[in-house]
Amino acid sequence: MHMRMTSQREIILRELQDSHQHLTADELYERVKKIMPRISLATVYRNLEKLSEAGIIGKLEISGRQKRFDSDIHPHDHIYCLECHRVDNIEFDRNLVNPTAVASDKGYRISGYRVEFKGICSTCWAMLNKREDGDKQ
Amino acid sequence: MHMRMTSQREIILRELQDSHQHLTADELYERVKKIMPRISLATVYRNLEKLSEAGIIGKLEISGRQKRFDSDIHPHDHIYCLECHRVDNIEFDRNLVNPTAVASDKGYRISGYRVEFKGICSTCWAMLNKREDGDKQ
DNA sequence: TTCTCTGCAAATAATTTGCACCCAT
DNA sequence: ATGGGTGCAAATTATTTGCAGAGAA
């Protein structure tokens, strides 16, 4: 059950890291295809799953949409745009939340938590304002 | 664009409220079918969408799985079980998080946030321990 | 050699949509 | 009488899986 390093796995991981973004499987597929045109989307899915199981990348399950993947695995939180669905890191002091303080709740054994902000990103905000200006004329 | 009250809408809402749970569309469909056997799953989806748009119920998009719906619309947070995927309310002091303190981040206009805990619920915890005991024998 | 990985196509899961008819307002 | 709502089936979206061959270790 050991994980082999294949060229597809290597490229998928590198492309995610180089992107400095929180990409979806198909966004990553489009990027990887430029380097390795015969790769299949299933391979991208399978590798992202393996890599996140192995703790090499993070899997973001945010806002009930497509999963996104994150090459940054240190604990941090995110914000997503309600308009374009992009996801960014957000600076939030995780010391403010003490999981053990709520640990007795409902008898759950708590293993983690995340704080997920939502809003409108600056790009969409600008577009929305432009559209409103147009409406007025 | 006004919302009509139909018998299906009424029953869907009532069943969700009476359940005191965070149900998925198809769980609710199964319950409603017992009262109104010819209702379709699409109707359940459409009504849950309308009701949550109207702010009458809440939509929970948690852990990258099926959406769940909540008849309790006052701001509160949740915990879900990694084993059985049930969702429960969790008591967490939302005053600890100050959205405006992170508002400048990346230029987002923040409109809300949620804190999502994960863990193992007491039922699954008991089952896992029982299974382990079995393994040892 | 062994066993994981791959590409392809088909399958699945969750949700949405087109359409003709129904019914609340 | 309007125009939103409904049931049904088909379509869509995101993801997973079976299979036979490829290729790391």
Residues B30, B81, single domain; the answer is no
The backbone torsions φ and ψ at residue B57, rounded to the nearest 5 degrees and listed phi first, read -130, 170
Contact A43, A33 (CB under 8 A): no
CB contact under 8 A, A88 and B67: no
CB contact under 8 A, A67 and B64: yes
Residue A130 domain boundaries: 75-137
By mean pLDDT, which of A25-29, A36-40, A129-133, B65-69 is the weakest? Answer: A129-133
Q: What are the tens digits of pLDDT across the range A107-120?
A: 899 999 999 999 99
Residues A26, A8, single domain; the answer is yes
pLDDT band at B133 (very low <50, low <70, confident <90, very high): low
On the question of pLDDT at B134 being above 70, the answer is: no
| Structure-token pair, residue B76 | 């509160």
Contacts of B113 in chain A (CB under 8 A): 115-118
Residues B27-34: what's their mean pLDDT?
A: 98
The strand order across the sheet containing A68-70 reads A23-24, A68-70, A58-60
Residues B29, B84, single domain; the answer is no
What's the count of helices (H) and strands (E) in chain B, helices before strands?
4, 6
Residues A29, A7, single domain; the answer is yes
Q: Which residues contact A114 (CB under 8 A, 6 or more apart)?
A: A77, A78, B115, B116
CA of B54 to C1' of C21 (A): 26
Q: What is the pLDDT of residue A86?
A: 92
Residues A5, A63, single domain; the answer is yes
Contact A31, A19 (CB under 8 A): yes
- CB-to-strand C under 7 Å, chain B 17-36: 24-26
Last residue of a domain, one of A73, A99, A119: A73
By mean pLDDT, which of A7-11, B1-5, B77-81 is the weakest? Answer: B1-5
Radius of gyration from C-alpha coordinates of chain A: 19
Residues A45, A96, single domain; the answer is no
Contacts of B127 in chain A (CB under 8 A): none
The residue that minimises its CA distance to C1' of D3 is: B1
Q: Which of helix, strand or coil describes residue B92? A: coil
- Give me chain A's average pLDDT, please: 90
Q: How many domains does chain A have?
A: 2
Q: Of B87, B74, B79, B69, give the one whose Cα is nearest residue B32.
A: B69
Residues B114, B125, single domain; the answer is yes
Q: What are the tens digits of pLDDT across the range B110-129?
A: 999 999 999 999 999 998 88
Q: Of A108, A35, A23, give the one whose Cα is nearest residue A71.
A: A23
Contacts of A116 in chain B (CB under 8 A): 113-116
